[in-house]
A and B are shown apart, each in its own frame.
Chain A
Amino acid sequence: MSVKRDENWEPQILAFCCNWCTYTGADLAGLNRMKYPENVRVVRVPCSSRVNPQFILRAFQKGCDGVLVCGCHPGDCHYATGNYFTRRRFMLMQRLLEYNGIDPKRFQARWISGSEAAKFRDTVTRVSQEIKELGPNKKFQEEWYSEGGAGNE
Chain B
Amino acid sequence: MSRIGVFVCHCGTNIAGTVDVARVAEAMKAEPGVVFATDYKYMCSEPGQQMVKDMIKEHKLDRIVICSCTPRMHENTFRKMLKDTDVNPYMLEIANIREQCSWVHTDKEKATEKAIALARMAVAKVGRDFPLFTSTIPIHKKALVIGGGIAGIQAALDIADAGYQVTLLEREPSIGGRMVMLDKTFPTLDCSACISTPKMVEVSAHPNIELRTSCELEDVSGYVGNFEVTIRQKARYVNHDICTGCGLCETKCPTKVISEFNQGMSERRAIYKSFAQAVPAKPVIDPDHCRKLQEGKCGVCQAVCPLKAINFEDKDTTFTDTYGAIIVSTGYQLIQWQDLYPEYGGGRFKDVISGLQFERLVNASGPTEGHILRPSDQTEPKDVVIVKCVGSRDPKKGKSYCSRACCMYAAKHAHQILEKIPDSNVYVFYMDVRTPGKGYEEFYDRTRKDGANYIRGRVAKIYKEGGRLICRGEDSLLGRQVTVEADLVILETAMVPADGIGEVVHKLGIAMDADGWVQEAHPKLRPVETQTAGVYLAGTCQGPKDIPDTVAQASAAAAKVCGLFSKSEMETSPMTSKVDQSKCCGCGHCEVCCPYKAITLVEIDDREGPKKIRRTVASVNSGLCQGCGCCAAACRTGAIDLLGFTNDQILREVDALCQ
- Indicate whether B629 reaches chain A with its CB closer than 8 angstroms: yes
Question: In the bound complex, do residue A35 and residue B114 qualify as a contact, i.e. CB atoms below 8 Å apart?
Answer: no
Q: Are A41 and B630 closer than 8 Å at their CB atoms? A: no
**Interface presence of B307 (CB below 8 A):** no
**Contact A50/B629 with A41-B114, A43-B121 known, Cβ cut-off 8 Å:** yes
Assess the B117–A50 pair: CB atoms within 8 A.
no
A31 within 8 A of B: yes
Q: A27-B100, A79-B626 are in contact. List 16 more A-B contacts (CB 8 A).
A: A28-B99, A30-B103, A35-B104, A38-B111, A43-B650, A45-B650, A46-B627, A49-B629, A50-B633, A52-B633, A52-B647, A59-B654, A62-B654, A62-B655, A80-B595, A85-B593
Closest Cβ of chain B to A143, distance in Å, is 14
Which B residues have a C-beta under 8 Å from some C-beta of A?
Answer: 70-72, 96, 98-100, 103-107, 110-111, 113-114, 117-118, 121, 511, 519, 531, 575, 593, 595-596, 626-630, 632-634, 642, 645, 647, 650-651, 653-655, 657-658
The closest CB in chain B to the CB of A17 belongs to B100
Chain B neighbourhood of A14, CB < 8 A: 654, 657-658
Contact assessment for A42 and B630 in the assembled complex, using a CB-CB cutoff below 8 Å? no
**Interface presence of A95 (CB below 8 A):** no
| A27 and B658 within 8 A (CB) | no
- Give the contacting residue for A38; candidates B105, B630, B647, B650; CB below 8 A: B105
Residue from the list B104, B113, B595, B645 in contact with A45, Cβ < 8 A:
B645
Q: A30-B98, A35-B105, A38-B113 are in contact. Are A64 and B630 (CB under 8 A)?
A: no
Q: Is the CB of A23 within 8 A of B647?
A: no
Partner of B632, one of A30, A52, A79: A52
Residues of A within 8 A of B103 (CB): 30-31, 33
Q: Which of B106, B519, B629 has the most CB of A within 10 A?
A: B629
Question: A residues 102-116 with Cβ under 8 Å of B?
Answer: none
Assess A42 versus B96: contact at CB under 8 Å? Given A49-B630, A51-B633, A52-B633: yes
- Complex: how many Å from CA A43 to CA B651? 10
B100 contact set on A, CB distance < 8 A: 26-27, 30, 42
A46: contacting residue among B121, B645, B653, CB under 8 A: B645
In the bound complex, CA of A86 to CA of B98 (Å):
29
Residues of A within 8 A of B628 (CB): 46-47, 49-50, 78-79, 82
In-complex Cβ contact of A33 among B104, B575, B629, B657 (8 A): B104
A141 to chain B, nearest CB (A): 10
A59 to chain B, nearest CB (A): 5
- Residues of A contacting B630 in the complex (Cβ-Cβ under 8 angstroms): 47, 49-50, 79, 81-82, 85
Cβ distance A47 to chain B, nearest Cβ, rounded Å: 4
CB contacts (< 8 Å) of A80 on chain B: these are 511, 519, 531, 595
Interface digits, A44-67 against B, CB 8 Å rule (1 contact, 0 not)? 111101111101001100111000
Shortest Cβ distance from residue A80 to the other chain B in the assembled complex, whole angstroms: 5
Assuming A30-B104, A36-B104, is B111 touching A81 (CB within 8 A)?
no
Known A41-B118, A41-B657, A50-B630: A55·B595 in contact at CB below 8 Å? no
B605 CB to closest chain A CB (Å) equals: 30
List 19 A-B residue pairs with CB atoms under 8 Å apart, sorted by A's residue number.
A14-B658, A23-B72, A30-B98, A30-B99, A30-B103, A43-B654, A46-B627, A47-B628, A49-B629, A50-B645, A55-B651, A55-B654, A79-B531, A79-B596, A80-B519, A80-B595, A81-B511, A89-B633, A121-B104
